[in-house]
Amino acid sequence: MLAGLEQLIATKSPYKLASRAFRERTIIRIGDVLLGGDDVVIMAGPCTVENREQLLQTARGVRHAGAHVLRGGAYKPRSSPYSFQGLGQEGLALLSAARAETGLPIITEVMEPGTIALVAEHADVLQIGARNCQNYPLLREVGRTDRPVMVKRGPGCTVEEWIMAAEHVMSHGNMQVMLCERGIKTFETATRHTLDLSAIPLVKQLTHLPVIVDPSHGTGRRDLIKSMCLAAIAAGADGVLIEVHPNPENALCDGAQSLDLDEFADCVAGMRLVAEAVGRRVPRRELVPA
Ligand code: PEP
Ligand code: MN
């Protein structure tokens, strides 16, 4: 048993390995950057991989603007079975091609235990989608891999339930876990979800895990993304996950909450200023040691 875990199990806290009492902080290497330290890590890309041209254009654009990680869904959990479900394996191959060209590491969602090995061949970070925050067989199996895992908060999950999802992953051996706040369901309908920014400092007090904020799903509105990114960094987020599309009006999925490439560059410039104001920094890719 891990040192200190025995004593922790005796405590009342429902989570043990994720607890701040177990460890001061967790730093996760993703490609060239370190998540969970002084740096603020920017993950950006389309909601869904649509085709080679769309993905590569986005990847080049977000890299140029300063992103560190490329996001893009190949397996999409859609509310409707009649909506586009993602390109699957073909989408994974395109993500690998984008990494080969740009050097950006990849984060992409895995939805089922049976596809983890395949997704892990292409992904640098495995994303557990909000809908699967309490899918315990899936959490167990990503916990048996050696890939960093991002656990998105379920729209109906309390902070404790969300941290327990991370605990499930960690209890199977994988300690490289980050949490992602992406909005919860409230009575408010003016935004897609309610982005719970108070969860950032709270989760950082309770756990040693890096915290990412996804203002795209959190608000559903392109015009709110930049403000929420700046606020997230001011509140202590270790990174952001932003949907970006070269032509949001024509996006197959989530265009209304996707920035175009110019808006993304402006958002990054703002994040640099806020990061510096709070004693962090957004590393410039060209300055990051290989
Ligand atoms: C996504 O990031 O592509 C996604 C589907 O988000 P969520 O799981 O938070 O709804
Ligand atoms: Mn999306």
Which ligand 1 atom sits nearest the alpha carbon of residue 73? 3
216 C-alpha to center of ligand 2: Å? Answer: 7
For ligand 1, whether the C-beta of 217 sits within 6 Å is yes
pLDDT averaged over every residue in the chain: 96
pLDDT single digits (tens) 177-215: 999 999 999 999 999 999 999 999 999 999 999 999 999
Mean pLDDT of 112-123: 98
Write down the pLDDT at residue 286: 58
With beta carbons less than 8 A apart as the criterion, state whether 214 and 181 touch: yes
By alpha-carbon position, which residue is closest to atom 4 of ligand 1? 129
* Residue 40 CB-density burial (10 A; 0-12 exposed, 13-18 middle, 19+ buried): buried
d(CA 81, CA 32): 38
Which ligand sits nearest to residue 152's alpha carbon?
Answer: 1
The pLDDT, as a whole number, for residue 12 is 81
pTM: predicted TM-score of the whole model, two decimal places: 0.96
**Residues at Cβ < 5 Å from ligand 2 ion:** 47, 254
74: amino acid identity, one letter = A
Residue identifier of the C-alpha nearest atom 6 of ligand 1: 129
* Ligand nearest to the CA of residue 132, numbered in listed order: 1
Residue 134 CB-density burial (10 A; 0-12 exposed, 13-18 middle, 19+ buried): middle
Give residue 10's pLDDT: 72
Determine the average pLDDT of the residues in 53-66. 98
137 lines ligand 1 (CB under 6 A): no
Query: What's the token pair of residue 109?
Result: 């969602």
Ligand 1, residue 127: give the atom nearest the CA: 2
Residue 117 binned pLDDT confidence (cut-offs 50, 70, 90): very high
Which pLDDT value is given to residue 142?
98
The ligand 1 atom nearest the CA atom of 183: 9
Cα–Cα distance for residue pair 121/138, rounded to 1 Å: 17
Strands (E), the chain: 28-30, 33-35, 41-45, 69-71, 106-109, 125-128, 149-152, 177-181, 211-213, 239-243
User: Average pLDDT in the 101-126 region?
Assistant: 98
pLDDT (0 to 100) of residue 2: 60
Confidence of residue 289 (pLDDT cuts 50, 70, 90): very low
**Atom 9, ligand 1: which residue's CA is nearest?**
130
pLDDT value for 188: 98
* Residue 129 near ligand 1, beta carbon < 6 Å: yes
Q: What is the pLDDT of residues 222-247, one digit of tens each?
A: 999 999 999 999 999 999 999 999 99
Q: What is the pLDDT of residues 123-154, one digit of tens each?
A: 999 999 999 999 999 999 999 999 999 999 99
What percentage of the chain carries pLDDT values higher than 90?
A: 93
Q: Which of 73, 22, 38, 49 is nearest to 208 (CA)?
A: 22
* Residue 274 amino acid letter: V
Does residue 1 surpass a pLDDT of 70?
A: no
Centroid of ligand 2 to alpha carbon of 217 (angstroms): 6
Number of Cβ atoms within 10 Å of the Cβ of 90: 12
Residues 6+ apart with CB under 8 A from 269: none
Residue type, 223: D
CATH number of 18-277: 3.20.20.70
Ligand 2 centroid–CA 245 distance in Å is: 11
Question: Is 130's C-beta closer than 6 angstroms to any atom of ligand 1?
Answer: yes
pLDDT of residue 274: 98
What is the number of the ligand closest to the CA of 216?
A: 2
Q: Where are the domains of the chain?
A: 18-277
